Amino acid sequence: MGRPPLFRAGALTAVDGALALVAVLLVVQMWLLTATLETYLAGYHGAAVPGAIVSGLLFAACVGLYVFVLRVDAEVRR
C-alpha cells in the first residue's frame, strides 16, 4: 500500500529538484574540467590541485543528491 497522493506529488517535486541540481552541478564540473585542461595544456600546472578538489566536492554533492533521490523513492514505495 503506497503513500497518499499528496505525499507522492511532493516527493516527485523533490526528486525533480534534485535531478535539476545534479544537472547544474554536472555542467559546472564540465566547465571546470575544460578550464583545467586548457590551463594544463598552456603549461600552467597550478590549477590541477584545486580543480581536482573542487571536482571531487561536486561529485560528492552529486552522490549525496542521488542518495536523497533513492531515499525519497524508497519512502514513496513503502
Partner 1 sequence: MSLLRRPSALPLWRDEITIDAADERYVTRRQFTKFLVLTSFGMFVGQLWILARSLFSRAGAPPAPMVIGRAGDLAVGATRVFQFPSPNDPCLLIRMGAESYVAYSQKCTHLSCAVYFDAEKRRIECPCHEGAFSATDGRPLQGPPPRPLPRIRLERRGDELMATAVEEGGPLDVAGIVGSGCPRARG
Q: Strand, coil or helix: what is 23?
A: helix
Q: Mask: binding to partner 1, 48-67, rule CB under 8 A, as x and -?
A: xx-xx--xx-xx--xx-xx-
Instruction: Name the burial class of residue 56, with classes exposed (0-12), middle (13-18) and buried (19+) by CB atoms within 10 angstroms of its CB.
Output: exposed
Spatial distance between the Cα atoms of 63 and 65, rounded to a whole number of angstroms: 5
CB of 26 to partner 1, least distance (A): 5
Spatial distance between the Cα atoms of 58 and 30, rounded to a whole number of angstroms: 11
Query: Does position 36 bind partner 1 by CB under 8 A?
Result: yes
- Interface residues toward partner 1, by CB under 8 A: 15-16, 18-19, 22-23, 25-26, 29-30, 32-33, 36-38, 40-43, 45, 48-49, 51-52, 55-56, 58-59, 62-63, 65-66, 69-70, 73
